Amino acid sequence: QAQLVESGGGLVQAGGSLRLSCTASGLTFTTYNMGWFRQAPGKEREFVAAILWSGPITAYANSVKGRFTISRDNAKNTVYLQMSSLKVEDTAVYYCAGLKESLTAWDRREQARWYDYWGRGTQVTVSS
């Protein structure tokens, strides 16, 4: 049974940094594109970043571009989200998700409904 487990969330002051990790098990990690989404109270879940199954190709939401970096270590079945210059509006539960690679998968990277597996989320709180 596939499982994604996030870690690294916490409380940080505005302008600070955090690194989230997500470790996968029960799936062939190298066949999955990986994404990070977030959901703030009272808001819909939104796309944050994604990385192609093979690594170097990435995509970001405009709101985090230049501040967040997604990366993966296929040897460790882990995807990371390095968050810098954090803002109060980055406060949310952050979710890791896996999207099985296919001809159309990467085109769907920003749409949560296409993802196959989800973690339970980790809370990130940015204080002013």
Give 74-83 pLDDT, tens digit per residue: 999 999 999 9
Residue 93 in this model has a pLDDT that exceeds 90:
yes
**Model pLDDT, residue 68:** 98
Name the percent of the chain lying above pLDDT 90: 97
Give 22-64 pLDDT, tens digit per residue: 999 999 999 999 999 999 999 999 999 999 999 789 999 999 9
Confidence class for position 69, pLDDT limits 50, 70, 90: very high
Give me the chain's average pLDDT, please.
97
C-alpha angle 93-96-99 in degrees, rounded to nearest 5: 140
Phi, psi (deg, nearest 5) at residue 114: -90, -10
If 0-12 CB within 10 Å is exposed, 13-18 middle and 19+ buried, where does residue 26 land?
exposed
- Token output for 62: 């405009």
